[in-house]
C-alpha cells in the first residue's frame, strides 16, 4: 500500500509540474521545444503518454471492483485530460482543471467515499452488475464514436501558435458570454443552498406546529 | 498518422465518453455512477477544446469547457449531498437497494 | 468589444422579468432568515413569493414581444418565448398557492422552497428563450439541479431521498450525453449559435460521397445525443425511467409542478431547437422540411409512438395515483411529441395549446391527489372509492380533469388533442403520409387505452361504496382552486377561440 501511494504522489507531482512549467512557459510566449525521439516528436510522445494515462484512469474507474481505486483512477483521468489541454493551447483551462476538478470535485468525491464507509474497510459495494449489458453498450458506442471522430471531414484550420489565453478568456467572460457568466453565479448560489438544505440535519427546534390543519 | 492532430484528441474524448457510459451502466454504487458522469463531461470537454484549437480558433470552446467544469462542480456538490442524505436514511448507497417504491 | 458591452447593456431592457425573478429568489432566501421566528411566517413568505411572481408578470406583460436577440445572441425575446413564460409563471404561482396551504413542506423549510422554486422558474424562462448551446445547457442544468434538491426536500422521508437520488443520477447522465452531442455540433458547425446552424448544415450537406456520408452520420449522432437532454426533461422514452419514481417520491405539490413546468420548458426548447435550426422556414402551407434530409422527424415520430404506448400500457397496472399520473404524463409527452414530429405550423401550435391546457388539467389532477392524501393519508386508488360521497366537489373536479386528460369533448383536453391530431392528419396526405397516418392511428388507440384506466378511477369514485372515513374536510382554498380549474377546463372546452388566437399570435420565433 505505501508503495502505491508513493507512485501516485510521484505521478501527481509529475503532472502538476508539467502543467505548471508549460503553462508558465506559454504565458511567457515560449513554444514547446522540438526534440525528435525516433519517429515521434517530443510533443507527440508526451501526448501518447498522457492519453494512455487518461485512458488507463478511465478504465480503472469503469472496471475496478474497489471504489477507492475508482476514485484514484478518476484522479489519473482528470490529470491526463488536464495535461492534454496544454497541447491544445488551453493553459488557463488546464490550471482550472487541476484546481477545480482535482482540488474540488475529486476531493468531494473522496470525502463522500470515506463518509459512506468505515474507513478501515475499503471493499464496499462497487460490484459490477450487468457487465454483459455494459459490454454490449461499449461495443455499440465505441466503434460509432471512433468512426465519427476519424472519418468525418472536420473543417480544420492551421492551429494558432500556442499562446496564453487568460486575457482573452477574461474579456470573453465579461463581454460576449456575460449572461452565462452571471447565470453560472446564480446556479452556484442555488446549488450551494440546495446542497446545504439536503445535507444538514433536520431542524427540530422553533418549528411552529403545522401538522394540524 | 502518428503525429498528433484533431482526430487523436477526438478519439480520447470518445473513449472517455464510452468508458463513462460503461461506468454509469454497470456501477451500483451511487458515487461510482457520479464518477462515470465526470468521465462523460471530461470526454465532452476534450472535444470542445480540441475543436476550439483545430476548427474554430478563438476561445469560445474553452469558455464553454470552463462553464462545464463549473457546472460539474455544482452538480457533484448536489449529487454527493443527496448521496450522503440517502446514506443517512438507508445506511447504503447501492442504487438498486434504494428501491422501496416499485410495486 | 465596445459593441458587445453595449449590446449587453441594451439587453437588460428586455430581461426585466428574469431580473425580478433572480433578485426575488435571493430576497426570499434572505427573508426566510429574517422571518425565522415570526408567527405568520408561512403566510408572509408565500405572499412575498406571489408578489415576486406578480411583479414578473406585470413586467412580462409590459414587455414588447418583438423578436430581438438579447445578450449577443445568448437568448431571444420573442412572442414564442413569451407564451411559454406565461405558462411557467402560472405553474409557479399555482404551486406557491398549493404549497402555502399544505404541509408537504414544513414551515422552517418553506422559505428555501419558494426561493429555489423561483430559481427554477427563471431557469425555465431561459430554456424557452435560449438560442445558444451554452445557454441551453446552463438553463437545463439550472432547472435540473434545483429540482433534484426540491424533490428530496423532506429529509426524513425515504421515498423523497430515493426520488432525488434517481433524479440526480438519470439527470446528470442525460445532460452529460447532451453535452457530448453538443461538442460534435460545435465541431461540425463551428459555432454555438443555434440561429446560425441552419445555413451551415445546408452547406455541410453539399459534400457528397464517403465524406458526405460520414458528415451525415456525425450530425445524426450529435442530434440524437442532444435530444437526450430534451427527452429527459419532457420524460419521453428512453429517458423516462426517472419519472415514475421521482413523481411518486417527491412531495406532491412539487410533482405537480414538475409535470407541467419543466415539461413545457422542454417542449419550448425542443421546438426552438429543432424547428428553428434543423428545419427550413415554413412554407405558405405552414409546413417545413428537415434540413439536408436528416431524418429527425421520423425519429421523433417513432419516439412519440413508443412513448405514449409505453406510458399508457404501464399506467393500467398502477394502483398508486401519483405513479399512475406519472405514467399518464409520460403518455402525454408522447402525444405532444406528435406535434413536434409533424414539423408544421399547425403541429407547433398544437404543442403550445396542449401545454397550456395540460397545465390546468394536470395541476388539477394532482391537487385532487393532495386533497385526498390530506384526508386519508393515502395515495392508493382503493381509497378513492366513493369519493363522491365524501368530497363531492373533489370527485366531480377529478372526473372533469380525467375526462379532459383523455381528450373527450366538451372538455379543454379535447381542444388540445384535436389540434395535435389534426396536424398529424394534415401531413398524412403528403410525402411519407403513410407513417403519419400510422402515427395518428397509434395515437387514437392510445387514447382509447387511456380512457380505460382513467375510467377505472372514475368508477371507483362514483360507483363504489366508500370504505374509508376521512379525517378532515378539504380546505376552502383547495376547493376554490379545484372549482376554478374545473371551470377553466369546461369553458375552454367549449370556447377555445381565445387560446387558439393567442397561440396563433405567439408563433413568431426569432430565426437566424
CA dihedral (C388, C369, C235, C417) positive or negative:
positive
B-contacting residues of A 33-92, CB under 8 Å? 39-41, 43-44, 47, 51, 54-55, 58-59, 61-62, 67, 70-71, 74, 77-78, 81, 84-85, 87-90, 92
Spell out which residues of chain C touch residue A152, defining contact as CB-CB under 8 Å.
187-188, 211, 214-215, 217-218
Find out whether B61 and B44 touch, Cβ atoms under 8 Å. Answer: no
Spell out which residues of chain C touch residue B24, defining contact as CB-CB under 8 Å.
169, 173
CA distance C313 to A137: 27
Q: How far is Cα of residue A22 from the mean position of the Cα atoms in its chain?
A: 18
CA distance A194 to B81: 9
pLDDT higher than threshold 90 for residue A135: no
Q: Residue C464 has what pLDDT? A: 86
- Lookup: cell for C496: 377555445
Give me the helices (H) in chain A, please: 2-28, 42-63, 67-87, 91-96, 107-115, 131-151, 166-174, 178-199
CA distance A52 to A44: 12
pLDDT higher than threshold 60 for residue A35: no
H/E run at residue A100: none
What are the residue ranges in chain B where pLDDT is below 70? 1-2, 90-103
Q: Which class for A134: exposed (0-12), middle (13-18), buried (19 or more C-beta within 10 A)?
A: buried
Could you tell me which chains touch chain C, where touching means 3 or more CB pairs under 8 A? Answer: A, B
Buried b (16+ CB within 10 A) or exposed e, B20-41: bbbbbbbbbbbbbbbbbbbbbb
Q: Residue A205 has what pLDDT? A: 45
Could you tell me which chains touch chain A, where touching means 3 or more CB pairs under 8 A? Answer: B, C
- The three-state DSSP-derived secondary structure of C382-416 is HHHCCHHHHCHHHHHHHHHHHHHHHCCCCCHHHHH
The model's pLDDT over C299-326, given as tens digits with 9 standing for 90+, comes to 899 999 999 999 999 999 999 999 999 9
Report chain B's mean pLDDT, rounded to a whole number: 85
CA distance A145 to C460: 52
CA distance C254 to C150: 7
CA distance C273 to A93: 29
**Which residue in A81, A92, A191 is closest to B78 by CB distance?**
A191
Q: How far does A20 lie from chain B, in Å, by closest CA?
A: 18
Q: Residue C156 has what pLDDT? A: 66
CB–CB of A93 and B46 under 8 A?
A: no
**Which residue in C29, C134, C190 is closest to A155 by CB distance?**
C190
CA distance C11 to C75: 10
C400 touching chain A per CB within 8 A: no
Residue of C74, C186, C471 to mutate for A, most A C-beta atoms under 10 A: C74
Q: How far does C418 lie from chain B, in Å, by closest CA?
A: 34
pLDDT tens per residue across all 512 residues of chain C:
788 888 888 899 889 999 999 999 999 999 999 988 888 888 899 999 999 999 999 999 999 888 999 999 999 999 999 999 999 999 999 999 999 988 888 888 888 999 999 999 999 999 999 999 999 999 999 999 999 999 887 766 778 888 888 889 889 999 999 999 999 999 999 999 998 888 888 888 777 788 888 888 898 899 889 988 899 999 998 888 889 989 998 999 999 999 999 999 999 999 999 888 888 888 777 788 877 777 888 889 999 999 999 999 999 999 999 999 999 999 999 999 999 999 889 999 999 999 999 999 999 999 999 998 888 888 888 888 888 888 889 999 999 999 999 998 889 999 999 999 999 998 888 888 888 999 999 999 999 999 999 999 999 889 988 877 776 778 889 999 999 999 999 999 998 999 999 999 998 888 87
C78 backbone dihedrals φ, ψ, rounded to 5°: -150, 175
Instruction: Give Cβ neighbours of residue C476 (< 8 Å, ≥ 6 apart).
Output: none
Using a CB cutoff of 8 Å and minimum separation of 24, what contacts does A200-204 make? A202/C155, A202/C156, A203/C108, A203/C109
Q: Residue B101 has what pLDDT? A: 54
CB–CB of C108 and A206 under 8 A?
A: yes
pTM, rounded to two decimals: 0.92
Residue of B37, B53, B89 to mutate for A, most A C-beta atoms under 10 A: B53
CA distance A23 to A25: 5
Q: How far does B21 lie from chain C, in Å, by closest CA?
A: 8
A208 backbone dihedrals φ, ψ, rounded to 5°: -65, 145
Spell out which residues of chain A touch residue C148, defining contact as CB-CB under 8 Å.
194
Q: Greatest CA separation found in chain B? A: 57
Q: Residue C51 has what pLDDT? A: 96
Angle, alpha carbons C254-C472-C358 (nearest 5°): 35
Amino acid at each position: 500500500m505505501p508503495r502505491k501511494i508513493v507512485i501516485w504522489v510521484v505521478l501527481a507531482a509529475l503532472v502538476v509540474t508539467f502543467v505548471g512549467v508549460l503553462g508558465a512557459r506559454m504565458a511567457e510566449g515560449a513554444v514547446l521545444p522540438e526534440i525528435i525521439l525516433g519517429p515521434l516528436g517530443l510533443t507527440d510522445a508526451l501526448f501518447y503518454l498522457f492519453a494512455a494515462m487518461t485512458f488507463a484512469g478511465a478504465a480503472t474507474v469503469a472496471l475496478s471492483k474497489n471504489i477507492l481505486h475508482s476514485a484514484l483512477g478518476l484522479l489519473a483521468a482528470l490529470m491526463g485530460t488536464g495535461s492534454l489541454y496544454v497541447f491544445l493551447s488551453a493553459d488557463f483551462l488546464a490550471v482550472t482543471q487541476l484546481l477545480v476538478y482535482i482540488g474540488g470535485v475529486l476531493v468531494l468525491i473522496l470525502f463522500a467515499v470515506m463518509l459512506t464507509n468505515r474507513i478501515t474497510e475499503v471493499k464496499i459495494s462497487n460490484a459490477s452488475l450487468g457487465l454483459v449489458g455494459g459490454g454490449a453498450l461499449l461495443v455499440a458506442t465505441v466503434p460509432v464514436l471512433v468512426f465519427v471522430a476519424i472519418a468525418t471531414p472536420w473543417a480544420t484550420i492551421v492551429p494558432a501558435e500556442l499562446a496564453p489565453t487568460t486575457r482573452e478568456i477574461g474579456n470573453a467572460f465579461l463581454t460576449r458570454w456575460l449572461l452565462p457568466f452571471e447565470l453560472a453565479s446564480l446556479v452556484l448560489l442555488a446549488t450551494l443552498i440546495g446542497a446545504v438544505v439536503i445535507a444538514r440535519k433536520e431542524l427540530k427546534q422553533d418549528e411552529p406546529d403545522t401538522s394540524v390543519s | 498518422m502518428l503525429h498528433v492532430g484533431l482526430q487523436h484528441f477526438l478519439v480520447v474524448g470518445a473513449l472517455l465518453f464510452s468508458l463513462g457510459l460503461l461506468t454509469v451502466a454497470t456501477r451500483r454504487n451511487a458515487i461510482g455512477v457520479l464518477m462515470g458522469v465526470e468521465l462523460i463531461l471530461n470526454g465532452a470537454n476534450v472535444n470542445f477544446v480540441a475543436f476550439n484549437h483545430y476548427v474554430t480558433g478563438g476561445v469560445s470552446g474553452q469558455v464553454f469547457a470552463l462553464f462545464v467544469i463549473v457546472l460539474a462542480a455544482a452538480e457533484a456538490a448536489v449529487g454527493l449531498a443527496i448521496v450522503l442524505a440517502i446514506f443517512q436514511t438507508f445506511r447504503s448507497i447501492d442504487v438498486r437497494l434504494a428501491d422501496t417504491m416499485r410495486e | 468589444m465596445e459593441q458587445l458591452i453595449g449590446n449587453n447593456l441594451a439587453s437588460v431592457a428586455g430581461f426585466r422579468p428574469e431580473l425580478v425573478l433572480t433578485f426575488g429568489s435571493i430576497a426570499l432566501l434572505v427573508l426566510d432568515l429574517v422571518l425565522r421566528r415570526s408567527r405568520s411566517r408561512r403566510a408572509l413568505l408565500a405572499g412575498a413569493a406571489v408578489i415576486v411572481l406578480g411583479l414578473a408578470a406585470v413586467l412580462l406583460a409590459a414587455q414588447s414581444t418583438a423578436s430581438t436577440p438579447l445578450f449577443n445572441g445568448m437568448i431571444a425575446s420573442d412572442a414564442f418565448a413569451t407564451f411559454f413564460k406565461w405558462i411557467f409563471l402560472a405553474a409557479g404561482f399555482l404551486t406557491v398557492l398549493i404549497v402555502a396551504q399544505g404541509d408537504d413542506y414544513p414551515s422552517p423549510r418553506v422559505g428555501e422552497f419558494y426561493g429555489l422554486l423561483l430559481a427554477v422558474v427563471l431557469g425555465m424562462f431561459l430554456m424557452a428563450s435560449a438560442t445558444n448551446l451554452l445557454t441551453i445547457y446552463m438553463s437545463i442544468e439550472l432547472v435540473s439541479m434545483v429540482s433534484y434538491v426540491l424533490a428530496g426536500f423532506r429529509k426524513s422521508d425515504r421515498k423523497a431521498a430515493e426520488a432525488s437520488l434517481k433524479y440526480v443520477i438519470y439527470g446528470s447522465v442525460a445532460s452529460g450525453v447532451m453535452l457530448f452531442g453538443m461538442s460534435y455540433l460545435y465541431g461540425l458547425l463551428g459555432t454555438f449559435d443555434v440561429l446560425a446552424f441552419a445555413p451551415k448544415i445546408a452547406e455541410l450537406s453539399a459534400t457528397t460521397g464517403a465524406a458526405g456520408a460520414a458528415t451525415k452520420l456525425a450530425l445524426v449522432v450529435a442530434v440524437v445525443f442532444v435530444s437526450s437532454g430534451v427527452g429527459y426533461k419532457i420524460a419521453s422514452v428512453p429517458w423516462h425511467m426517472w419519472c415514475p419514481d421521482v413523481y411518486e417520491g417527491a412531495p406532491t405539490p412539487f410533482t405537480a409542478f414538475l409535470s407541467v413546468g419543466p415539461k413545457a420548458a422542454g417542449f419550448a426548447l425542443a421546438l426552438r431547437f429543432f424547428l428553428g435550426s434543423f428545419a427550413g422556414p415554413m412554407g405558405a402551407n405552414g409546413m417545413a422540411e428537415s434540413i439536408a434530409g436528416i431524418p429527425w422527424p421520423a425519429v421523433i415520430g417513432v419516439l412519440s409512438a413508443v412513448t405514449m404506448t409505453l406510458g399508457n400500457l404501464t399506467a393500467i397496472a398502477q394502483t398508486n395515483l401519483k405513479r399512475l399520473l406519472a405514467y399518464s404524463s409520460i403518455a402525454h409527452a408522447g402525444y405532444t411529441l406528435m406535434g413536434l414530429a409533424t414539423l408544421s405550423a399547425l403541429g407547433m401550435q398544437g404543442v403550445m395549446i396542449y401545454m397550456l391546457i395540460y397545465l390546468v388539467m394536470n395541476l388539477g389532477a394532482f391537487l385532487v391527489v393532495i386533497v385526498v392524501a390530506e384526508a386519508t393519508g393515502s395515495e392508493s386508488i382503493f381509497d378513492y372509492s366513493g369519493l363522491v360521497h365524501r368530497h363531492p366537489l373533489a370527485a366531480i373536479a377529478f372526473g372533469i380533469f380525467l375526462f379532459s386528460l383523455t381528450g373527450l369533448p366538451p372538455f379543454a383536453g379535447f381542444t388540445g388533442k384535436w389540434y395535435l391530431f389534426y396536424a398529424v392528419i394534415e401531413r398524412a396526405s403528403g410525402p411519407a403520409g403513410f407513417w403519419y397516418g400510422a402515427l395518428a392511428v397509434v395515437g387514437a388507440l392510445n387514447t382509447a387505452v387511456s380512457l380505460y384506466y382513467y375510467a377505472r378511477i372514475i368508477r371507483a369514485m362514483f360507483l363504489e361504496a366508500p370504505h374509508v372515513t376521512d379525517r378532515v374536510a378539504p380546505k376552502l382554498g383547495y376547493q376554490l382552486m379545484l372549482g376554478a380549474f374545473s371551470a377553466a377546463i369546461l369553458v375552454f372546452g367549449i370556447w377555445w377561440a381565445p387560446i387558439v388566437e393567442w397561440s396563433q399570435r405567439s408563433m413568431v420565433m426569432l430565426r437566424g
